[in-house]
Chains A and B, each alone.
Chain A
Amino acid sequence: MTTPYLLIPVLIILLILYGISLLFSQLEVYNRLTHRKIWNYSLLVTFLTTGILGILMAIQINYKIEVPWTEKVLKVHVNFGIAMTIIAFFHLLWHLRYYLPFKAFSGKSPRPGTRIQKQVNIPGFLLPFMVGFTAVAFQTLVIRELLGLFSGNEFILSIIFFLWLTLTGAGAFAGTRTNTPAEGTRLSKKTIYLILALASMPVALIPLLYFLKSLFFSPGIEAGPAGLSGFLFLILLPFCFLNGFSFTYSVKLLRPSGMTAGGAYAWESVGSASSGFLMTLAILLGIFSGYPGRWAERLIHPNEEIIQTYSGVSGRLTVTRTGEQVNIYENGVLTHSSGNPLTNEELVHFTLCSHPDPRDILVIGGTCTGITAELMKYDCHRVDCIEPDPQVIRTAKKLNLLAEGYPNINYLRINPFHHLISDTATYDVVIVMLAGPQNLNLNRYYASSFFALARKHLGHSGMVTVMLPGTANYVSGNALDMLGPIYSAARKSFGQVALLPGENNYLMASDEKWTIDILHTLQERKIQTTFIRPGYFDENLLIARKSEMEQLLNQVFTANEEFRPKAFLGMINWWIGQFPLRLLWIFGAAALFIILLTLVGSKPESNAMFLLGAGASGLQIILLFLVQITAGTLYLFAGCLPAIFMTGLATGSWCFLRKRVGKILSSDTFIWLLFSFSGLLLLVISEWLAHPSGMTGLKTVLIFLISFIAAFSNGAVFARLASQPGDHANPGRIYAYDLMGAALGAIVFPLALVPLFGIKLAIGVISATGIVSLGLTKLVRKRS
């Protein structure tokens, strides 16, 4: 927190909670009496806390008692006092008639349950449709913003999905408890309010996200897993809870009109699919490129002048100025500050001074850092510059960040892997200047397949240099877990591999031996430098530290691959290691919490849905991973893939309800095993999907197809389970179990199975959930 007392956060939280509580009382989830009781108790608790702590402090001050926790007590006292005052203000509004006896405030309120709902001529399906529509719209926008604010990696994505699904599931549970009289085919006014609340929340919450981020986190701070989870919980709570609640509420509401749970599910899925496609189109057209705007960036970079900000298909590029210094951030992470040439000099001169005659150079990444100007100090014939996201080059050109006036520099707007596969160009040196294997997309540039591909483009004495995060004066075990697999990956293709430690670490690989003679070479070639020169640069120290590094790396590390992303996992562990928390334990406990909450005392059908939900969620996340690996971008597909999935859900649910799938296709065995089939299909083609052999379009279509098939199965299963006679088929409960299972899958698969056993085995386990889920249902049938 940037301020000592939580004035604004407490106000915002209480307003949100009060709003939800009031809405629930209006929707008769509970009556008005209960709503007031909740806030009466809150007032009592805050009053007692504030009062008792105040008395304690008075005693401490009066009698000069030395206690170490005075400051903490004062903070709690004041913060509770703020809460008490705000809640008291709510009470004042309730009793305004008493204090201000104007006629306008007189009149009796109707007794609970006797409200006559004024009906509005709006079709009933609009509610489930809007539930789905707003969910995907919010998800797309929020995921983009969150990944930009908190590092765009799959670990963060899993946390987001876990919290999202848990909160939505909790809301769905709450929705099953309503006693609302059914409305029929037309909606009441208060339901319209609910729809409006859903529709307006995405617009309101995104700006709030930035505001709260600046409030809860001091400038420049990297949020840890615990702080991040708490913050995300707060941001996602209002919308996700309301969204989950709205679906099960709509099922109850529309039952008398003949709309079944499966029908509502189908409308919800149609809304989600529509939203997903629209959002994807909007992203492609750049409609959100300036959203939410510079004011939001100013909150995140409070003491910097925002020159430009752009949201593309792969994330956000922000350019700021501090004095005369220009700073470039990609997804919130600083990639370059002008006036600090050390990294450029190390990377360029360590590499080019180790090559006898570097003429043709390929640079992947680093376009905005000025590295090309450093390269031009050499007599280069050709320098090809590529970015993992080609959009970055276009944006950098717009923002005048590219080195101009050099005819032999080519900025190629093509994916680097596509370039390496389709082009036959030969290079003397390939330089990779990226942020390290922070996500599965970047991990590809540190995998054995990349080194093999790069090697095909190298000429005689050709060399690849890959920049890696620095390790200062000590290389920890976690850092080695990141560096070692990359080293092993390079060793698979090259005979000579070395790691040079400087400001960053530089992995250099070649088939020819080379010696480190940097200062002499610079002198010979008459190249002027700022840092890499006598006085600032100790070449002997570099050689000594290189040897130390070789000793550390002289052990067996599993080579880094796309499907066994050891370097990425090492990087995540290294990141987590900065915070005093073992997240696996927390999420393991949370996973157990979900299992207990949903499985104890539940019916086997619910368990079956729970399991299938877990498998479906796990599959979706792994498909998102694969999209990163094949297409190289997550942002574009953040809306697209959920849309495909939702289309599958809607279609499966609709086909089952309308009995349009034929006798064979409507059998239990088929629809459950269809899910397992989708997993097995993915398993079979996974290697080909990950191989950088091009055909990205076809691969993307296949990923969509697998997502659709899995979702079709999921939708059909839900419709079947929800339409069974008797008490077993509480559609709202089954929906809630589906979501809870999905929340579990969002955590277990990416954070446990994939890190421990790799993507392939995780896919195998996912496939098995379909079979186990089927088994549970068969068990119930047999017993009954």
Chain B
Amino acid sequence: MNKREFLKCLTITGASACIASTGAIGNELISAMDDLNTDNQGEREASHYVVTPRGVKCLICPNECTLKEGELSDCHNRIARDGKLFTMAYGNPCAVHIDPVEKKPLLHFYPASLSFSLATAGCNFACLNCQNWEISQTSPTKTRNYQATPVQLVDQAIRENCKSIAYTYSEPITFFEYMLDTATLAKSRGIKNIMVSNGYINPEPLLELCKVIDAANIDLKTFDEEVHLKLTAGNLKPVLETLKTFRKEGVWLEITNLIVPSWTDNFDVIARMCDWLAQEGFNDYPLHFSRFHPQHKLTRLPVTPLQSLTRAKEIALKAGLHYVYVGNVPGIGGEDTYCHSCKVLLVKRNGFEIEQNLIVNGRCPKCQTPVPGRW
């Protein structure tokens, strides 16, 4: 190869590589442009942000995205415009259903009541096994949305005889302002507020929420930092802090741990998690072990074997946790509530139905031990 041929080859290769890279970058630009739908009716100025020399910094969750003009946040819901941060998830839920409260799962919170459940698109995690990935890994500009102001939501919940409104499905932290306004109004009108969340939120907005949220179900995905990061793209510590804050602020709390084979089914880790919960005073807060089903990017794993769930439950009870449940596995009584003192069966459940509830004034009828919860 002479010099001329070499230079020609190099030029062609370089030009082609640039074009290929442009294609890749162009892909990102197209994605970003799609997200910047200026016709989005759900847009309003966000709370909890600060303007820095590098851009607008969101302070809602530990991701703390710093956004330049027109840039979208990691949760797909916030955008920087004219030196301010705007949320695109306000008044535009994409999923609205009425569910039994046991489905959240909340078993110690007004059992047998209905919960008006909603979500907008967006999430500050990127869980590999997300059941709702079609709404969590996208922005409200790309989903088919309803239009519902907080007033309309609360009115609808009352009309449907719902005891509570649940902010769920995707990640309610990412529609913080919408949730906060709706919850404030709902509280004033006697409707309870439930948050089903990953708990990945900064302390200041969390404290604000604690004033209006009555109950929370937090997903404690795993107690292993590295696995947590690989599975969710988020850190574990802020979630643990959220649990502590909820407890301290008196918000009713139930914790869910999804056992994913090969990822979060290490029983030593589960034991450490249960020990931590017991040491930090979460003995009276229900812990739910739930069964994994192949979803999203984790489709080449089996469902969680029943033995894994029952063994996890044994570990949790041994660690000193009083109310441990195995969800959605009929026939094993996994969701029945027992008095942790005298072991009498207090609440017998058949799926989402209550066959028997012996709790009187929040106590065991036999030994009068308080049964924590909101009855």
Residues of chain A touching chain B, judged by Cβ–Cβ distance below 8 Å, are: 4, 177, 218-222, 224, 300, 302-304, 320, 322-325, 327, 329, 332-334, 337, 339-340, 471-474, 476-479, 530-531, 533-538, 541, 577-578, 580-582, 585-586, 588-590, 592-593, 596-597, 600-601
Contact = CB atoms under 8 A, between A and B. Distances in A.
B302 A304 contact: yes
A589 B19 contact: yes
Grouping DSSP codes into helix (H, G, I), strand (E, B) and loop, the A interface class, with mixed when no group exceeds half, is loop
A320 B303 CA distance: 12
Contacts of A586: 20, 23-24, 27
Q: Give 8 nearest A-B pairs by CB, closest first.
A: A589-B23, A535-B351, A220-B301, A536-B351, A535-B350, A535-B353, A219-B262, A327-B302
Nearest to A579: B297
Given A333-B300, A477-B144, A585-B24, A593 B19 contact: yes
A581 B119 CA distance: 25
Contacts of A577: 134
**Residue among B27, B262, B302, B352 facing the most chain A CB atoms (10 A cut-off):** B302
Contacts of A327: 302-303
B139 to A, nearest CB: 12
A332 B16 contact: no
Nearest to B96: A473
A596 B16 contact: yes
B299 interface: yes
Contacts of B8: 601
Contacts of B330: 530-531, 536
Interface string B286-301: 0000000110111111
B128 A221 contact: yes
Contacts of B317: none
A218 B134 CA distance: 22
A474 B140 CA distance: 13
A219 B262 CA distance: 7
Given A221-B128, A221-B297, A596-B12, A590 B20 contact: yes
Q: How many B residues touch the partner, as a band?
A: 35 or more
A323 B306 contact: yes
B297 A322 contact: no
Nearest to A173: B9
A592 B306 contact: no
Contacts of B132: 472-474
A472 B301 CA distance: 19
Nearest to A478: B134
Given A530-B331, A578-B297, A473 B306 contact: no
B305 A474 contact: no
- Which of A337, A586, A601 has the most chain B CB atoms closer than 10 A to its own CB? A337
Given A220-B300, A332-B300, A536-B351, A325 B144 contact: no
B97 interface: yes
Given A322-B305, A327-B302, A531-B330, A592 B19 contact: yes
Contact of A325 (B23, B137, B143, B306): B306
B353 A334 contact: no
A664 B169 CA distance: 71
Nearest to A479: B134
Given A472-B132, A474-B94, A320 B302 contact: yes
B361 interface: no
A593 to B, nearest CB: 4
Interface in B319-366: 328, 330-331, 349-353
Interface of B: 1, 8, 12-13, 15-17, 19-24, 26-27, 30-31, 94-95, 97-98, 100, 119, 128, 131-135, 137, 143-144, 169, 226, 230, 260-263, 265, 293-294, 296-303, 305-308, 328, 330-331, 349-353
Contact of A220 (B131, B261, B349): B261
A585 B230 contact: no
10 contacts: A220-B300, A222-B298, A323-B308, A325-B303, A473-B95, A474-B169, A536-B350, A585-B24, A586-B20, A592-B16
B373 to A, nearest CB: 20
B107 to A, nearest CB: 14
Given A325-B306, A530-B330, A589-B21, 15 more contacts: A222-B297, A303-B265, A324-B306, A333-B300, A334-B300, A334-B301, A473-B119, A473-B135, A474-B135, A478-B134, A479-B134, A536-B350, A537-B351, A589-B24, A597-B12
Nearest to B292: A220
A530 B328 CA distance: 11
Contact of A324 (B16, B137, B305): B305
Contact of A221 (B16, B298, B349): B298
Nearest to A503: B293
B272 to A, nearest CB: 19
Contact of B296 (A4, A329, A477, A578): A578
B301 to A, nearest CB: 3
A474 B302 contact: no
Q: Which of B19, B20, B22, B98 has the most CB of A within 10 A?
A: B20
Nearest to B260: A220
Contacts of B352: 535-536, 538
B263 A219 contact: yes
Contact of B27 (A320, A323, A582): A582
User: Which of A474, A479, A530, A593 has the most C-beta atoms of chain B within 10 angstroms of its own C-beta?
Assistant: A474
B27 A334 contact: no
A234 to B, nearest CB: 18
Nearest to A304: B302
Contact of B143 (A334, A476, A531, A590): A476
A339 B20 contact: no
A222 B297 CA distance: 5
Nearest to B29: A585
Contacts of A596: 12, 15-16, 19
Contacts of B297: 221-222, 224, 578
Contacts of B328: 536
A300 B301 CA distance: 10
Contacts of A538: 100, 352
Contacts of A597: 12-13, 16
A220 B298 contact: yes
A537 B1 CA distance: 74
A325 B302 contact: yes
Contacts of A325: 302-303, 305-307
Contacts of A600: 12
Nearest to A4: B226
Contacts of B98: 541
Given A474-B94, A578-B133, A589-B23, A322 B302 contact: yes
Contacts of A478: 134
A333 B302 CA distance: 9
B15 A302 contact: no
A333 B301 CA distance: 8
B134 A476 contact: yes
A337 B302 contact: yes
Contact of A588 (B23, B265, B300): B23
A601 B4 CA distance: 12
A339 B306 contact: yes
Contacts of B12: 596-597, 600-601
Contacts of B226: 4
Residue in A221, A320, A324, A592 whose Cβ sees the most chain B Cβ within 10 Å: A221
A295 to B, nearest CB: 18
Nearest to B294: A334
Contacts of A340: 293, 303
A580 B300 CA distance: 20
A218 B26 CA distance: 29
Contacts of A476: 134-135, 143
A179 to B, nearest CB: 10
Contacts of B293: 340
Contacts of A531: 330
B311 to A, nearest CB: 9
B344 to A, nearest CB: 22
Contacts of A303: 261-262, 265
A629 B123 CA distance: 40
Contacts of B260: 220
